[in-house]
């Protein structure tokens, strides 16, 4: 194989596929990037068996062929080359020469036949959403997946198409995050669970471009995201996701309308006083058009008041400040509405159009 690409194009490609190179693995072939120039295009592929990424880079094929090279080593070398064209020359004995201006590296490739290609997902009638929207929906929900592997379903997100809407949902037993958009075109209903890791990595690759469209196809066990010249294929998590609709209610006894930024800054400060080991709640108490917030921990205490509009009964309720902060950060609205039933029932933060719902369970506290 002999190919010539610009350094910038190689870097761009490696940056994308390296998201699917496992950090730790016992199989050294999985640490590799496959460079496939066996047809008329040059593609880079990485695959950690849960997620595979393939991207096409522009370049010149002087001699067709395929190689697999250690991803980290290859990336490190290319990164340090001068900003110029890079010639990659591999002989049959797996010796790879990487030449760029006067710099010349020689490394050994791996047996590329051992490399696992990414699974094929049929590309018939994909659903399409913009890269910007997909990235935002991930950002606004990903934080409340569970880090704990003991319940596999909670480590992923529900991805559901129903009645012309797409909704993404995550929950970890303490809170639920839900985002919903109306789809422009009709698609058949579907309901799958995407691993959180896949969503995390995809959101790093996606540009915030509203013009760039992502085509999504779903097979029995896999989901394919296709955009620009990149394909991401991920396994789905098996199982039935929770019935979210049953957990979300529109009833309330108290409604608070508050400036999101003010509330967020206040809770952000309160976290300073919280040590990992003592999970002290932040206590919210409504008064005459003000919300009193206070926290008392072994490190000190904090008191603040924020102007609000209220409707309904007065309430005093405690929350894990971190959970509250995560939800507030995920919302873009300047003013938000919080709905309470009583001090033992969850708080809902949601908008009128139901494009987002954040549910947070309260915690007990002693005044």
Contact positions vs a copy of itself (CB under 8 A): 73, 76-77, 80-82, 102-108, 265-266, 268-269, 272-273, 299-306
- For residue 366, the minimal CB distance to a copy of itself (Å) is 18
When the beta carbons of 146 and 270 are compared against a copy of itself, the nearer one is: 270
Query: Can you list the alpha helix ranges (DSSP code H) found in 285-331?
Result: 321-330
Q: Residue 100: helix, strand or coil by DSSP?
A: strand
When the beta carbons of 82 and 287 are compared against a copy of itself, the nearer one is: 82
- For residue 174, the minimal CB distance to a copy of itself (Å) is 24
- For residue 283, the minimal CB distance to a copy of itself (Å) is 14
Cβ-based neighbours of 102, under 8 Å, separated by 6 or more: none
Distance between CA atoms of residues 42 and 64, nearest Å: 9
Cβ-based neighbours of 281, under 8 Å, separated by 6 or more: 295, 318, 319, 320, 321, 362, 363, 364, 365
When the beta carbons of 181 and 302 are compared against a copy of itself, the nearer one is: 302
When the beta carbons of 38 and 99 are compared against a copy of itself, the nearer one is: 99
Distance between CA atoms of residues 52 and 225, nearest Å: 11
Q: Which of 343, 352, 344 is nearest to 316 (CA)?
A: 343
- For residue 103, the minimal CB distance to a copy of itself (Å) is 5
In DSSP terms, 226 is beta-bridged to: 215, 231
- For residue 329, the minimal CB distance to a copy of itself (Å) is 14
When the beta carbons of 105 and 187 are compared against a copy of itself, the nearer one is: 105
When the beta carbons of 192 and 293 are compared against a copy of itself, the nearer one is: 293
Cβ atoms within 10 Å, residue 329:
15
Query: Can you list the alpha helix ranges (DSSP code H) found in 150-235?
Result: 196-205
Q: Which of 109, 111, 195, 213 is nearest to 158 (CA)?
A: 195
Distance between CA atoms of residues 362 and 343, nearest Å: 7
Q: Are strands 95-100 and 103-108 parallel, antiparallel or unpaired?
A: antiparallel
When the beta carbons of 101 and 209 are compared against a copy of itself, the nearer one is: 101
Task: Write the Ramachandran bin of 297: left for phi over 0, alpha for psi from -120 to 50, otherwise beta.
Answer: beta
């Amino acid at each position: 194989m002999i190919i010539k690409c610009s350094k910038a194009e190689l870097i761009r490609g490696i940056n994308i596929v390296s998201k699917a190179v496992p950090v730790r693995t016992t199989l050294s072939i999985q640490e590799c990037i496959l460079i496939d120039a066996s047809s008329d295009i040059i593609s880079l592929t990485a695959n950690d068996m849960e997620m595979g990424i393939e991207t096409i880079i522009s370049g010149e094929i002087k001699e067709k062929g395929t190689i697999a090279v250690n991803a980290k080593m290859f990336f490190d070398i290319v990164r340090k080359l001068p900003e110029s064209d890079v010639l990659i020359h591999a002989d049959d004995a797996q010796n790879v020469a990487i030449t760029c201006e006067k710099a010349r590296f020689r490394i050994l490739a791996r047996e590329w036949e051992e490399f696992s290609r990414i699974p094929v997902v049929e590309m018939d009638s994909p659903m399409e959403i913009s890269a910007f929207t997909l990235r935002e929906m991930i950002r606004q929900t990903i934080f409340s997946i569970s880090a704990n592997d003991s319940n596999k379903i909670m480590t992923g997100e529900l991805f559901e198409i129903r009645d012309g809407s797409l909704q993404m949902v995550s929950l970890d037993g303490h809170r639920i995050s839900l985002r919903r958009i109306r789809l422009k075109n009709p698609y058949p209903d579907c309901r799958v669970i995407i691993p959180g890791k896949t969503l995390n990595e995809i959101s790093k690759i996606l540009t915030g471009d509203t013009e760039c469209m992502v085509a999504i196809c779903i097979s029995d066990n896999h989901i394919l995201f296709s955009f620009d010249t990149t394909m991401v294929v991920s396994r789905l998590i098996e199982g039935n996701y929770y019935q979210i609709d049953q957990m979300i209610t529109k009833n309330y006894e108290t409604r608070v309308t508050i400036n999101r930024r003010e509330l967020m800054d206040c809770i952000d400060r309160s976290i300073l006083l919280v040590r990992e080991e003592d999970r002290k709640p932040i206590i919210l108490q409504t008064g005459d058009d003000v919300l009193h917030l206070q926290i008392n921990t072994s490190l000190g205490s904090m008191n603040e008041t924020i102007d609000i509009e209220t409707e309904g009964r007065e309430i005093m309720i405690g929350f894990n400040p971190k959970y509250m902060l995560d939800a507030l950060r995920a919302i873009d609205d300047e003013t938000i509405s919080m709905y309470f039933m009583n001090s033992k029932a969850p708080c809902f933060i949601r908008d009128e159009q139901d494009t987002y719902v954040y549910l947070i369970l309260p915690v007990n506290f002693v005044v």
